Amino acid sequence: MIGLIVLTLLGAAAAAPTDDRIVGGYQCEAHSQPWQVSLNLGYHYCGGSLINDKWIISAAHCWQNPYSQIAILGENHIWKHEGSEQYMSVDAIYWHQSYDYQTLDFDIMLMRLVHPATLNQYVKPVALPKACAQPGDMCTVSGWGNIYSDSVFNPFYLQCVEVPILSDKECDGSYPGQITDQMVCAGYLEGGKDSCQGDSGGPLVCNGELQGVVSWGNGCAQPNYPGVYTKVCSLLPWINEILSTYS
């Protein structure tokens, strides 16, 4: 049964792994990722992606009580008000009914905004995929998460990194028995570039389409442990069902 998330699930969400941040990237050109969302509890805690003027996609393990958070659109510098931001309340969150907080299978949720966002040069939705990405496709991951693999420093400005989609064989070779049909790996087996803590729920965008949601990984930017993303193309029927039922 698909339904609203209830408060009792907070403990499960809070217990999920958080190995997900931008390492080895660069400061994004301001507002070059206009679909990027900051989920905020008085501080940034997860990312998300705007997919139309009323809906955000993020990771299910980022779930928090919808009434205790805001979604910030049009953000660039995380601690500075620059005039481009839209501060949006969330009135409903739907996560996939098969989500497993231990394996992070089906790690996806949809968040409905109380009011439609104003779309402009700073705030634009990202397209959902028409087909799955192919191994070797280059993609951009963005977020305000930790930028070091061996210590903690969260940047003020949105960070970006380019990573390739890996084959199912490479992905399963790094995480034997842990990769499902709802997951895709992206990164470099030699390490050095990855997403990390604080980037969870954020976008993996390939050729202008949202192909992944930052989900999990073993450490950050470590050799032989690429980032693992929720595979958006495999979950399109569920996404479209939620949008059509609850919009």
Active site residues: 61, 107, 200
For strand 159-164 and strand 183-186, is the pairing parallel, antiparallel, or unpaired? unpaired
Apex 100 CA angle, 99 and 104, nearest 5: 95
Per-position b or e across 80-103, b if 16+ CB within 10 A of its CB: eeeebbbebebebbbbbeebebee
